[in-house]
A and B are shown apart, each in its own frame.
Chain A
Amino acid sequence: MTRVFISQDMASIALGVDAVAQAFRDAGCDVVRTGSRGLFRIEPMVEIEDGDRRIGYGPVGPQDVAAILSGSHPNRLGNVADLAFFASQQRFTFARCGVVDPLSDADYAAHGGWRGLEKALGLDRQDVVDCVKASGLRGRGGAGFPTGIKWQTVLGAPGSEKFIVCNADEGDSGTFADRMLMEGDPFCLIEGMAIAAHAVAASHGYIYVRSEYPFAIETMRKAIELAAGRIAPFTLEVREGAGAYVCGEETALLDSIEGKRGQVRAKPPLPALEGLFGKPTVINNVLSLAAVPFILDKGPEAYASVGFGRSRGTMPVQLAGNVRNGGLYEIGFGITLGALVNDIGGGTNSGRPVRAVQVGGPLGAYFPPSMFHLPFDYEAFAEAGGLIGHAGITVFDDSVDMAHMARFAMEFCSVESCGKCTPCRIGSTRGVEVIDRIIAWRGGRQGAGVALPHGLGAALYSRSPERMQSDAAAQTALLRDLCDTMKFGSLCALGGFTPYPVLSALDYFPEDFGAVAAAAEVVEPVR
């Protein structure tokens, strides 16, 4: 019987892969559902087992079964692993994703699974922590804090009860690596958490998954059940989020697990010392924990041998937006932004020139192609006024209006703000209003017939009209002040990073804010 491998990843299913799978089953094939390989341009894809090779066909539909089985389908891709998009990757973390049956323990073990945990259990706790330290692994959620040092703090924290918490509240737009891993290789995450538990002497762990990931939740729950014996006495459970972006912030996430309103906590105390239910807690992103089995199995040197500067190992980069090769690409740090967008991503999907890319989710900076020389590296991006974040890259072509993108950043923040700290709670709403004024002013000046928003004008600054200016220059200055207040005054990264997209849009695309003319014109204050 022909074995056929077909993804059951949420994205693949969205592309209609279930009907394809059913068609192969109807045709009498042995269909194995896997995770996704991570290149969505070629999905729905089927892989026909051929000895050691898997011959891919994609994109295909349910009507294509006969042509595929006869090998005559025009979308024949050849051996999938040999495709350039896959062959050029350094899949440390995603090695099994798209290859194995996610809920087959045997499959997992056959593909190198559980070796890391076995090694860890043979080591002292401190040795495990040292191993992670030596790998140079940094928090993949965005902050880039050295994972080993975090574990060291928890290991050294007094207390008999400690927790491992996995942050799988993957809320950034344009990111999906956590989801793909949980759906495609859940045992990898479980193994990583079990290693962490051994390293810091924790007895119980939580995986906090956003409610928008029903397949991941289901897969993780089943996998936890299957792996219970392997990880005992450590125990795990999945907690579902309730739709708040801010609960991806680690302390708000802890509050949410505790059953409270998801609200950011002030630090100190660090969660490593007083975390979940006030106990020492390792809280790591999915990708950080999923990198650990490789590190323990192959040794920290193997992991650290790739990378750039202080950014060691690999990063599963997620390409999204207006990009030809949207998907997941795991590669060592140091590859340039331009290589990722143009060479790997293949430029825009619309075929128009790339105008901007946003790196690191909705709170990441926008970069123009002039910054494509930047190496993918925490320090290099920070220096350039940006961040790597969760390594999501969203591509825009030249039809994008960057003032609107800046507005979106503020709007996103205002929708997702927990409301605790003032810069974020009020600032994000004011930010939208200020940018609206700039957009309106820009429209009016350019004579495009855009009406000022209602009430704008006389009502604006009615209390002190002579002192206030509503022109783009004044409003832009106000916007920059606001960004300063939010960036340095906010309690957490939501308010603190919202200025990144706004300021980068202002800095790199001033023309979209009417800036060139504004400098030259003297604008009468609105009466």
Chain B
Amino acid sequence: MSFSRETDHGTPPALAGAQSVNVTIDGQSVAIPEGTSIMRAASLIGGAIPKLCATDNVASFGSCRLCLVEIDGRNGYPASCTTPVAEGMVVHTQTERLKKLRRGVMELYISDHPLDCLTCGANGDCELQDQAGAVGLRDVRYGYDGATNMGQPKDQSNPYFDFDPSKCIVCSRCVRACDEVQGTFALTIQGSGFGSKVAASQNNDFLSSECVSCGACVQACPTASLIEKKVVEIGKPERAVVTTCAYCGVGCTFRAEMRGEEVVRMVPWKEGKANRGHSCVKGRFAWGYAQHQDRILKPMVRASIDQPWREVSWEEAITHTASEIRRIQAQYGARSVGGITSSRCTNEETFLVQKLIRQGFGNNNVDTCARVCHSPTGYGLKTTFGTSAGTQDFDSVQHSDVILVIGANPTDGHPVFASRMKKRLRRGARLIVIDPRRIDLVKSPHIHADHHLPLRPGTNVAMLTAIAHVIVTVGLANEVFIRERCDWDEYQDWAEFVSQPERSPEAIEALTGVPSHEVRAAARLFATGGNGAIYYGLGVTEHSQGSSTVMAIANLAMATGNVGREGVGVNPLRGQNNVQGACDMGSFPHEFTGYRHVSDTQTRELFERAWGVSLDSEPGLRIPNMLDAATDGSFKALFVQGEDILQSDPNTHHVAAGLAAMECVIVQDLFLNETANYAHIFLPGSTFLEKDGTFTNAERRIQRVRKVMEPLNGYADWEIVQLLANAMGLSWGYAHPSQIMDEIAALTPTFAGVNYDALDAQGSLQWPVNEGAPDGTPTMHLDGFSRGKGKFVVTDYVPTDEKTGPRFPLLLTTGRILSHYNVGAQTRRTANVAWHPEDLLEVHPSDAENRGIKDGDWVLLRSRAGETTLRAQVTERVAPGVVYTTFHHPMTQANVITTDYSDWATNCPEYKVTAVQIGLSNGPSDWQARYEAQARQSRRIDTPVAAQ
């Protein structure tokens, strides 16, 4: 495949549903939707009007003046980018007059542009170069001794791209992309006239500016003014492969632009239905971990965890692993072993791991990291709606009128979707934010929440019930919807419950700390503002009432009739790239693929027939149960693929004790992660760049992951699992992940229509994909809930047992930051550390002052579970009484602090509420020093001395 950029039609498409008009362009008649620019119309029929300032992901601007055309009956030379087609219009795009004008404009451009094309990073991939050729510029008669903007210093502060103002043609594409696509408004044109130049923030360098390094400006730049450092270093790509990002649950698709086996850059794919051509700093730039020196490429084993690692052949590693599992099962029983599937691996790989456990280990001891994030979503939405997934696609937000964000921080956690949401908000949708922190959505450029309800952590259920109280008691419930779509009796029970005086905003004011009139106003807005959509994240699920909160959200959506069409719905923002997929693929100990219970005989028999074994009808152990069983001595071996439970799961001491009690811990990962400190066998994993497969994002969208390079470790992860399965005697014979998907489709009704040919043809598919919905299901519950009638569930507020008191007066809540991803295993091994080199503890100024803590001080953070130290950031983003930190750095080990409390229904840990105390500290704690030493010790690798 030879390299070329995606076609750029210059201006965005007309609004959907526009009427067609007939125009004639250079003699060619064509019907084009009204509102389309002449430029786009010409491009769609294969013509190419010269252009520089136009690009089709931002609104037309009309500044470069290259795209001038002549229109019969109109004076002058209108710009084709800003002139819409009209019925009967006759356009000429190539006349002698136009040629002369375009050459005149280009002559001016080049009179202020360095002529170093041969040594320029954009050589061969430069629109200015292309257009100079297209208009036939041969001379620059102005000479080169006049005024110039050349010779300005380059800004190389951003770790991923350079800004060279000398090569800037002031087309404003970067500024417009920052405004319109990303919504950060970090860039501007400074000065005027000939001195106009692009500036970040108040003429800062890019790194210190408000720039979030999403890459939209770099993508938009038509010259080498904004260019990826990798392109400068490597050169122009020679081929491009479309694949899916391995970071968050947005599931952005990218063109991996390659030169040989080297990734030159990742460019967001405009056809991608999840990201629509946009990206964030992680997916766009932070993929260097794939080649990081820390990556382990050879299998390793050791007899005990105090020994150094010994590199072995794949054959030895696999044989050893299989024999250890069989040994332990023989000694301690079939149920003494289990595994954890990875939300970062593909659907196919996840499917194989749970298949290995159910078919090969002969038990249901399989769980996944969704246990610690969105398991309450699965439970709550299945109970109320009948399907364990969000109801909408991301495009839906364009039709929302009121957006309610609760327990999510999209601009950091799901930045590409946040940009879509902000675009809608800038166009007039209203916003309600329920979050203890003043997240960026509450107030940022051109975004302002109508209501921010900064509730005390742990009071979500009380808050949502109070909102329901207002809606029901004021008479704003959508009775027509409820009667038609939901169980009326259950609704009445629920309505009676929420109407109780003790559920009112006034009654819970002391509990939540939010003024009742704000709650009432927010409730009225949500119920009366038009299409209401709810977006939520781990701030909802990671509580002891996580499942209750999800159901309270579902109740609210049903009560206001906001389910079953575009613009509404209940939308969990999933944390990891394939956490939806991992759940879909039967990663839970009680469910087969498609959320079918293991006790369901019909389903079990289906799998038994397919796999030729009899399967356990008893649910297996959840992760916390496995760890408990390990410390009790009944659980002895664990296979962990692509997951770092020691760092990510709550109460680190307890996790460590559980792991240490096992006889064989097998870790399959890219790096020697924290869990690997307790492992006996290490199987090197492969990155998303090195394998084929699929990821399923938060929209239930199944998208292809495509191999762009050979696995550095020798095998894709699915191949490794297959090797292990075969070593255990299972005789699998998958030659390609597409065959695994075929098996999934055959065994899973909601995936019945999914196969690689269909995915390649359509780009992506949203499950359910079956006979009833051969093209997938963008919006769920259209004509009725998948369970039949929507179920209202009474969600009594049961406060967590984790309570503040004199010893632990503050509430700690945790979260994510834009530049990092989860435990940071990937992002810490990229230049993203430039933005966030360590975890910080956000403390309100009054809490800081009471304790003599200043910005940047080391503080000791203590809870009933443990203690750690980190540095303080004094900020009003958190309310008094609340502290906040991220969990990206192992040195901090925020989860030493978090407790064993968990969701009543799903055991999802209560990360978001921990009673703590903080105080000044001298630096890292003794425990941190010990941990660091132990980790160093555990990561030793014996290098065999070469025989003489």
Contact = CB atoms under 8 A, between A and B. Distances in A.
B194 A428 contact: yes
Contacts, number: 128
A419 B101 CA distance: 19
A421 B64 contact: yes
A418 B193 contact: yes
Nearest to A426: B108
A244 B76 contact: no
Given A266-B79, A419-B196, A484-B104, A430 B142 contact: yes
Contact of A489 (B81, B104, B170, B196): B104
B142 A419 contact: no
Given A268-B82, A491-B63, A419 B195 contact: yes
A417 B142 contact: no
B703 interface: no
Given A417-B194, A485-B105, A478 B142 contact: yes
B935 to A, nearest CB: 53
Contact of B139 (A420, A425, A430, A464): A464
Given A244-B192, A491-B65, A433 B79 contact: no
Interface stretch (A193-201, A344-352, A389-397, A453-461): A453-461
A425 B170 contact: yes
A489 B68 contact: yes
Nearest to A434: B142
A484 B100 contact: yes
B35 to A, nearest CB: 11
Interface stretch (B17-25, B143-151, B344-352): B143-151
Contacts of B196: 418-420, 425
A468 interface: yes
B143 A468 contact: yes
A464 B141 CA distance: 10
A250 B213 CA distance: 35
B77 interface: yes
Most buried by A among B77, B79, B193: B193
B189 interface: yes
Nearest to B172: A420
Contacts of B547: none
A424 B109 CA distance: 11
A50 B710 CA distance: 103
Interface residues of A, number: 46
A513 B616 CA distance: 99
A145 interface: no
Contact of B109 (A426, A429, A491): A426
A426 B144 contact: no
B549 interface: no
A415 interface: yes
Given A425-B196, A430-B108, A419 B143 contact: no
Interface in B185-230: 188-189, 191-196
B84 interface: yes
B62 interface: yes
B109 A433 contact: no
A422 B146 contact: no
Interface string B82-112: 1110000000000001001100110111011
B60 interface: yes
A523 to B, nearest CB: 15
Interface residues of B, number: 44
Contacts of B188: 261
Contacts of B109: 422, 426
Contacts of B143: 460-462, 468
Contacts of A268: 82-84
Most buried by A among B77, B83, B143, B147: B143
B847 to A, nearest CB: 37
B785 interface: no
B61 interface: yes
B77 A489 contact: yes
A468 B105 CA distance: 19
B105 A419 contact: no
Nearest to A454: B145
Contact of B65 (A415, A481, A489): A489
A425 B84 CA distance: 25
A48 B141 CA distance: 65
A466 to B, nearest CB: 12
Interface in A226-284: 244, 246, 261, 263, 266-268
Given A421-B65, A422-B105, A489-B68, A430 B146 contact: yes
Given A422-B64, A489-B101, A416 B193 contact: yes
Contacts of A460: 143, 145
Given A421-B63, A461-B143, A463-B144, A489 B194 contact: no
Given A417-B194, A468-B141, A266 B62 contact: yes
A417 B192 contact: yes
B147 A423 contact: no
A266 B61 contact: yes
A454 B432 CA distance: 64
Interface string B178-189: 000000000011
Contacts of A434: 142
B147 A433 contact: yes
Interface string A424-440: 11111110011000000
B101 A426 contact: no
Nearest to B169: A422
Contact of B191 (A419, A462, A468, A489): A419
10 contacts: A261-B188, A268-B82, A418-B192, A419-B193, A420-B196, A429-B193, A429-B194, A489-B77, A489-B101, A489-B105
Interface of A: 244, 246, 261, 263, 266-268, 414-430, 433-434, 455-456, 459-464, 467-468, 474, 478, 481-482, 484-485, 488-491
The 10 closest A-B pairs by CB, nearest first: A266-B62, A419-B196, A485-B104, A417-B193, A266-B82, A426-B108, A433-B146, A429-B194, A489-B65, A460-B143
Given A468-B139, A489-B77, 20 more contacts: A261-B188, A266-B81, A268-B83, A268-B84, A419-B189, A420-B172, A421-B65, A422-B169, A425-B193, A425-B196, A426-B108, A426-B111, A429-B193, A430-B108, A433-B146, A478-B142, A481-B141, A488-B97, A489-B68, A491-B65
